Structure 1
Amino acid sequence: MTESNFDLVPSYVIETNQTEKEGFEAMKTLLEAEAKPTAIFCANDITAIGALKFLALHRKKGGYNPFMFGKIGYIR
């Protein structure tokens, strides 16, 4: 990210054990922040599924939409 001139916001970095539940909770934490991220990066598909489930479940009451965020996957 640094090489691409993106600013890394430390509060946006949430370490998890890469589970669906922790992806769900991490997305909740991100969206409770005053400044909302515009994209998410998850270290694996399971964590991403949890994050997207949070967005889908809170679509109506929170106004969140999975299509509001850029998403990046990573496979090594």
Structure 2
Amino acid sequence: MAKAKLVLHEKQVEEDESVIEIKIWSVTTGSLHPYGVKYSLVYIREGKECWATTMLMDVITDIIAASLNHTASLISGPF
């Protein structure tokens, strides 16, 4: 299995010393992640991690696509 390749790493420290950090990796395309992208988002305030997420981009894309398909089915009914 090939290693993930870090494509982007941005870290921003705000005036209130909170930290926002994003990392994006290119991963091997396969059935688990057909788009070949993985990302991590982190927000730290007052030295404590407030939220963090690491997800495969295809999961997000599938959720968005399902939501759009559902919305389209709601508005494409007979009028």
Name the structure where helix makes up a greater proportion of residues.
Answer: 1
TM-score, normalising length: structure 1: 0.26
Q: Which structure is richer in relative contact order (CA contacts within 8 A, separation 6 or more)? A: 1
TM-score, normalising length: structure 2: 0.26
Larger Rg: 2
